[in-house]
Structure 1
Amino acid sequence: MKRIFCAAIAALTLFSFTACQKEPAPKEFTAEKLKPIFQEAITAARDEEINQVLPILSSSEDEGGALIFDMVGLTDEDIKAAGISISPMNIKAYGVAIIAPAEGKTEAVQTGLDNFVKAQQQSFANYLPDQGEIANSAILTTREDGIIVLVMCEDAQTVYDSITATLDEKLK
């Protein structure tokens, strides 16, 4: 009887220990690992014409990067890793960004992207109404893993779904 009792206690203890263990923390990805994933996610979500016309930037040091980073109110210090593609001309409401904020910079990145969207909405409110609708339909979210995604373009939901599917696959 003692053996059965001891075996039951041991089994219960083992069960309790394994049941209480937390899920492993998500992998910590470096900026070097994230940048190509972000670029791949954006590239796969867009058509070839947009991919050729609007480059994907990861730093203000990239060609045209200073202008784009200024448009979204961000600096390199705000970002751990990024893929940002924005129309620099005020004839198209277009912005796609995937950003892993630097530590302590989540709010700054969210605010910068939100201000960019609001500026686009204002800019197109009475000028090019079709672009105003695109700006008003922008999607700006922060994922559970802390990555911030902005999609402001035609068929935004489809582009967003494609980006998040790629991120989910590559970051697991």
Structure 2
Amino acid sequence: MQYVQHNAYGIRSYRNDNPFFSQIFTYGYHTGMHFGKSPGGEVPPVTGITSRPRIQGFDCDSCIVGVLIDGDGTNGVLMNEVQIMGTKPFSDAAIKISGNYVSLSISQLDATLSSTNVVRVFGDFTSVLVSDSIVRTWNESGLGFPAFEIASGRNNVLQVTNTLYGNGFGAVPARALEGTLIVRDVTHVHSFGG
């Protein structure tokens, strides 16, 4: 189990057009779902990214990273009904975007037990929309990670709307070190119960 949690990926998607990922459960992986850029090398050489993927009903339990997007140009990503639960003692961002020119829309995200951020953007020219979601706990490291963050990069936009958030261990819910951050109807909830 320890090897899997430090090295394995539940799903890796590279050069792939308009795929549908539905009703997927991953447990104990380093990364639940990874969207990268294929390195080429085929005959004839083919490189590329995943274009316009749809993720419906994804549950990533006890993963260090829930979703990683590092393929430049990964676009039109639609995620709906997504549950991401980190692992103790350390998990990274639930959704981590380091690729450039990425577009992602997330609705009905339920995220908890992240040691750092829930959504972290640090590529360039990336647009992320998060709506109708619940963030239970994040920043379990106590190092001040906001739930939603543009950590670096140029010309990024992160919009968070209609979202409830719980325990951030003293961290603010959203922050942009650079770029545009739009936060609307984001509400603190003291307890989510059960």
Q: TM-score normalised by the shorter chain: which range applies?
A: under 0.3
Structure with bigger gyration radius: 1
Higher relative contact order (CA 8 A, sep 6+): 1
Query: Structure 1-normalised TM-score?
Result: 0.26
Going by fraction, where is helix more abundant, 1 or 2? Answer: 1
TM-score, normalising length from structure 2? 0.24
**Higher strand proportion:** 2
